[in-house]
Chain A
């Protein structure tokens, strides 16, 4: 363990990437690869949301909206729907640009808002977008969604319905995303986000254009969900408004809370944990219960209850998440210390009172 932590982060990254590249040859189980390919999408989403919420401190409860916009961009531009067939690889550049523009469009009117108020507006945006896709039925087929999306082709190799190529695409996108987030974290822009999170007025006095910095956080965060949307839509070959409801925003936010906001690796682990809870742990628990004779029990129905329990438990026992950034840990522990001191003072005061 000590050896591992002492390793250069770049080397660590190469080791992990190498292991993941060889993983399909060690474990060719399609269900496992399928799970990992899907999980990659959600890790991308979590990394994007982490830029907005974890770095810049802007609470966004409607992040699924950008995921929807990314997915629908692919669905509309690469399917028989309008008979447009933009190649998958071009869409990987185009969709992030489209979602980034929507990120700015959402960000611009909310710049003056903070905390709860911002959360409510983003929540509204998260509701409006799927509703819009639902109701623009002449373009989106309404509740039926858009189907038969183009499947990616690399040179002459058709991805089709196989799992392996999507796994590698997911891996590739993740590697790019992690490098970018890593770079951002210790950069001029990353510092300006954190400065805004800590104290917006002081940040402005450092010459940080807070408007521009916040918009860039919204835009970059949204662009990650553009990537995720393309990966998701092309793999599923189908999009419908149901896939982007409020629970998706909460699902992704829970990943951040569970893993540890602000810390790239915490966020990744958090999203893998929640994805596997949904895909493996609950179904396995159901099978187990069925074997025990409780035939009517289906743990998958308890999904949201489980998220709720996890969120409450994390808040009670480890508010900084499982793998917190150093910052957040310190922040929450100072808050606890302050609270402890305050309650101590209060009790002294109560004792002193006649």
Chain B
């Protein structure tokens, strides 16, 4: 519908600024903050604050709490944040991954896992992952996704238990494959993974590549956890 973006005009930067300020204020105060508190805290006129809050509720960046007075951040805020490129990992991490890339033929990507899913935080510059591979596909159609599913005890993924890593074939193109070696913190929680994208044959028989990846995973664990 045209109403979605059609209402937005470049002449209203102040309104957009105010809307973001309101969003920020709800985040600062925490769930349950009322419209009046937001208006008082920001020094915004009541009518303006109420209208902005209701607009943000309409677009589901905010939700009205069950008591109808309070507001909380909507799940859409996190989705918005996902679109923004994830922050670069520290240099110590990047050095290890770069060193690994020089010794392995194929694309090596570093992936981080959190509550809202996975994000490729250090993609291989020579073999950039396709947008589809980088998380917008169903989880069971990539090695990095299958690792997460195994972590969530999905019955669809069995190889991680047996092999200690996840793999998947023919996802991007026939004859290709990828595998993902988990990086775990001291408690055993999955925090990240090193992924290798290579021809199918090399993924089936990873040999010393697997050893290199697993060694690097151990080195990276304390830096990423």
Asked if chains A and B come from one complex, the reply is: no
| Interface residues, chain A, with chain B CB atoms under 8 Å away | none
| Interface residues, chain B, with chain A CB atoms under 8 Å away | none
